[in-house]
Chains A and B, each alone.
Chain A
């Protein structure tokens, strides 16, 4: 085995981190400033880690990248493709048109081309009305002439019956062979508006996804690394580049998922609470059996409600760079932060802004900069701020945990010194080595998953067979996505009755996970 190293890369808004891992052992790390063109920052970070030894680049067996690029694009409304959203369901589901409730700016960024056509199904598979090919063609034609370049198609109850979305995609491919098409049943679950929103966001990101993935691949190759490349998804699992191009929406929350998985590996835990302290925010999440817990509610992305699966995270609005104000009686912390300018503006670096980092240094928790420069800060204010941080973290940890037992908290990220060692109901606080590149480690250790989420309308043995079939399909999908067959396990099966419906209808969700097959030839990756 000469190719055993994994290269993990985290492209954040501020820094691009790279780590080389052999098994779970960190071989080399690098932290470089992110660049506007993304690729030169990556090339530098990758170049730095493989420079440790000649020939190291050739030993890399797989490259895993986590990026916040697509989320930033949605928040800025930049580089989004003009998108048409076509809903099948008339005469039902007409009251709230597609893209209703979107922030005006984002709606304008994607063009706001919306259409409603006949089609859709009832929950039991009956048609609401037949698909009208001429009507659909007219919508596509109008969208095309209005300037749409990417298409999102939703149909009522498509998670039960995807056939009309597939028929529409077929027709669209005949009309406009090169246009990217996003189908709602491949992206979200029951709940038409949220699923359609996620599909529209995905469609709007398709063009950018081509550019970004090309850039990522190019930067890695330019550093001399020829190994297969994967992107990490919202649940921390890996997907191939081709899959990421088609489903960029599934990468949106990979940041929190990666920091949680990385923290766990660095601390040697599979179930723990993770506290990720950045410059302006703290994310608190929970890892269960090695994977981030999912958010129980629908999650808004760039203020748009969606039902794509996201990790459950509480974000607190302070971090290592937060500005401290007020008095010992009423201390204030954040939300204003010196951010990137910590090393110029903070007291301990000779600046004139009192930050959370200065408080940590003054309290003897951190030896950054010069402690002497914090002499003028009243001890009572230091204590009050630390107490406030301890209280908010304790509260967040308590709200996140799922059992009465005391938890283990793993602290990662640059500003971790502001976190106390004696959080309420926390048995142990672990600050692992290499905690500052936990995100990149999380990307490097990600596994491959396969998922099935569908509605089953069967009873008795038929329902059991349907659940078994879904489980087998999830396993097959994980293997198709690059998992080593002998390591694939079903990790989650949920069977929920649909409420107040006559007969028996169940929603079945199955997830299977396996290790990436590093030595085997990798098939072109497809998930979902």
Chain B
């Protein structure tokens, strides 16, 4: 089989796929797309399934953490990603054979590829979430009891913080504290793991699938809505105007209410940092870990949660994550993980 590569021409599709799989969160893919396009002007990136790597070869995951607003100003540095990864390599005392993305939704899908290019390593065709989730530990490795450590965080100012050990409950507050000290955003590397274990526990083929999803989206973006929805393999929950937005609070999710322009149905979308679940006239439609996407019906661009405005014409749809999460993962990635009541099975 011909070796797969990511070329400059693939960036638009990669970014579009990642934006949809971001489910309204996961940061703005544009900065990552700029950077990746810039890096791929001179080189290309080899994409390998974890199964094709030596089973005991170490794979390290790289990504960005923090505020999208800070990232849009200070940009991201591939050098920081590489420094974080090197700090992890030093901890595990072995060479890294490949680099991978924490998540295949939002900015971090692209950042994973950027890290791999800077490290000069192949990029694993897979990720740990099959979409974007807000917490670093909402992933398939965590479900298997694997901790993200040793983990390293690097700032543009040259600071590197290494965390050799931390319990699951400490991951988020520790990461938030380090990020704040680094000006609101930083580069992170973690979850070093043997390729054989990653192949067994990670999400397979999700980078290819993301690029393919983005390619179908770009091809059908201007087509009639049923065609677009069909080509994405998505389910349509409603097309209409945003009637009301209840913002999330520090303790509870918020909601969008969309009145369907066709049949007048009331489409509700629960959200936090991502869109979490939909109901149509009170009947459950889709919920996390499925990907709920809200598209601007004017440009068909996937919207971030905070971009939605009252009166805006939107399309509410959902598609499966690029990973089939088992029922046993509901506490980690299901509605209850986001403070929503579990609905009846559909």
Q: Are B77 and A297 neighbours in the complex by a CB distance under 8 Å?
A: no
Q: Are B37 and A95 neighbours in the complex by a CB distance under 8 Å?
A: no
Q: Are A500 and B183 neighbours in the complex by a CB distance under 8 Å?
A: no
Assuming the contacts A101-B37, A297-B301, A314-B298, asked whether A404 and B73 have C-beta atoms less than 8 A apart, the reply is no
Give Cα distance in the complex from A192 to B184, angstroms.
16
Give Cα distance in the complex from A128 to B156, angstroms.
9
Interface window among B64-72, B120-128, B226-234, B325-333? B64-72
Asked if A523 CB lies within 8 Å of chain B CBs, one says no
Partner among B259, B299, B306, B312 whose Cβ is within 8 Å of the Cβ of A404 = B259
Asked if A123 CB lies within 8 Å of chain B CBs, one says yes
Q: Are B73 and A95 neighbours in the complex by a CB distance under 8 Å?
A: no
Distance (whole angstroms) from the CB of B101 to the closest CB of chain A: 17
Residues of B56-82 at the interface with A, using a CB-CB cut-off of 8 Å, are: 66-70, 72-79
Q: Are A123 and B69 neighbours in the complex by a CB distance under 8 Å?
A: yes
Give Cα distance in the complex from A401 to B314, angstroms.
12
Assuming the contacts A95-B35, A192-B72, A501-B69, asked whether A402 and B311 have C-beta atoms less than 8 A apart, the reply is yes
Q: Are A501 and B70 neighbours in the complex by a CB distance under 8 Å?
A: yes
Q: Are A190 and B259 neighbours in the complex by a CB distance under 8 Å?
A: no
Distance (whole angstroms) from the CB of B260 to the closest CB of chain A: 11
Distance (whole angstroms) from the CB of A382 to the closest CB of chain B: 24
Partner among B68, B75, B157, B307 whose Cβ is within 8 Å of the Cβ of A296 = B307
* Binary per-residue interface labels of chain B (177-219) against chain A in the complex, 1 for a CB within 8 Å, 0 otherwise: 0001001100000000000000000000000000000000000
Distance (whole angstroms) from the CB of A131 to the closest CB of chain B: 16
Q: Are B73 and A156 neighbours in the complex by a CB distance under 8 Å?
A: yes
Q: Are A91 and B75 neighbours in the complex by a CB distance under 8 Å?
A: no
Residues of B258-295 at the interface with A, using a CB-CB cut-off of 8 Å, are: 259, 261
Residues of A93-131 at the interface with B, using a CB-CB cut-off of 8 Å, are: 93-97, 100-101, 120, 122-124, 126, 128-129
Partner among B34, B70, B311 whose Cβ is within 8 Å of the Cβ of A123 = B70
Q: Are B69 and A91 neighbours in the complex by a CB distance under 8 Å?
A: no
Assuming the contacts A126-B183, A156-B73, asked whether A96 and B156 have C-beta atoms less than 8 A apart, the reply is no
* Binary per-residue interface labels of chain B (153-168) against chain A in the complex, 1 for a CB within 8 Å, 0 otherwise: 0001110000000000
Residues of B118-154 at the interface with A, using a CB-CB cut-off of 8 Å, are: none
* Nearest-CB residue, chain A, relative to B183: A122
Tell me the total A-B contact number using a CB cutoff of 8 A.
Answer: 114
Give Cα distance in the complex from A499 to B297, angstroms.
24
Assuming the contacts A95-B35, A402-B311, asked whether A122 and B184 have C-beta atoms less than 8 A apart, the reply is yes
Assuming the contacts A122-B183, A123-B184, asked whether A499 and B73 have C-beta atoms less than 8 A apart, the reply is no
Q: Are A499 and B157 neighbours in the complex by a CB distance under 8 Å?
A: no
Q: Are A95 and B38 neighbours in the complex by a CB distance under 8 Å?
A: yes
Contacts of B307 in A (CB 8 A): 296
Give Cα distance in the complex from A501 to B74, angstroms.
14
* Binary per-residue interface labels of chain A (392-408) against chain B in the complex, 1 for a CB within 8 Å, 0 otherwise: 00000011111110000
Size category of the binding interface on chain B: 35 or more
Asked if A324 CB lies within 8 Å of chain B CBs, one says no
Q: Are A193 and B69 neighbours in the complex by a CB distance under 8 Å?
A: no
Assuming the contacts A122-B183, A402-B312, A404-B241, asked whether A498 and B67 have C-beta atoms less than 8 A apart, the reply is yes
Assuming the contacts A126-B183, A399-B298, asked whether A93 and B73 have C-beta atoms less than 8 A apart, the reply is yes
Partner among A193, A404, A499 whose Cβ is within 8 Å of the Cβ of B34 = A193
Partner among A94, A101, A312, A314 whose Cβ is within 8 Å of the Cβ of B77 = A94
Contacts of B74 in A (CB 8 A): 89, 92-93, 120, 122, 128, 156-157, 192
Q: Are B35 and A399 neighbours in the complex by a CB distance under 8 Å?
A: no
* Nearest-CB residue, chain A, relative to B299: A297
* Binary per-residue interface labels of chain B (301-322) against chain A in the complex, 1 for a CB within 8 Å, 0 otherwise: 1000011010111000000000
Give Cα distance in the complex from A312 to B70, angstroms.
27
Q: Are A502 and B75 neighbours in the complex by a CB distance under 8 Å?
A: no
Give Cα distance in the complex from A156 to B73, angstroms.
6
Distance (whole angstroms) from the CB of A268 to the closest CB of chain B: 24
Partner among A95, A297, A401 whose Cβ is within 8 Å of the Cβ of B76 = A95
A residues contacting B by CB (< 8 A) are 89, 91-97, 100-101, 120, 122-124, 126, 128-129, 156-157, 190-193, 296-297, 305, 312, 314, 398-404, 496, 498-502
**Known interface pairs A92-B74, A499-B67; 11 further A-B residue pairs with C-beta atoms within 8 A, sorted by A's residue number:** A91-B77, A91-B157, A95-B79, A96-B34, A122-B183, A123-B67, A296-B296, A404-B259, A498-B67, A500-B184, A501-B69
The 7 A-B residue pairs with the shortest CB-CB distance, nearest first, are: A92-B156, A402-B311, A500-B67, A122-B183, A399-B298, A502-B180, A498-B69
23 contacts between A and B (CB under 8 A): A91-B77, A91-B158, A92-B156, A93-B73, A93-B156, A94-B75, A95-B35, A95-B79, A100-B34, A101-B34, A123-B73, A191-B73, A193-B34, A193-B72, A296-B312, A305-B30, A400-B298, A402-B241, A498-B67, A500-B66, A501-B67, A501-B70, A502-B176
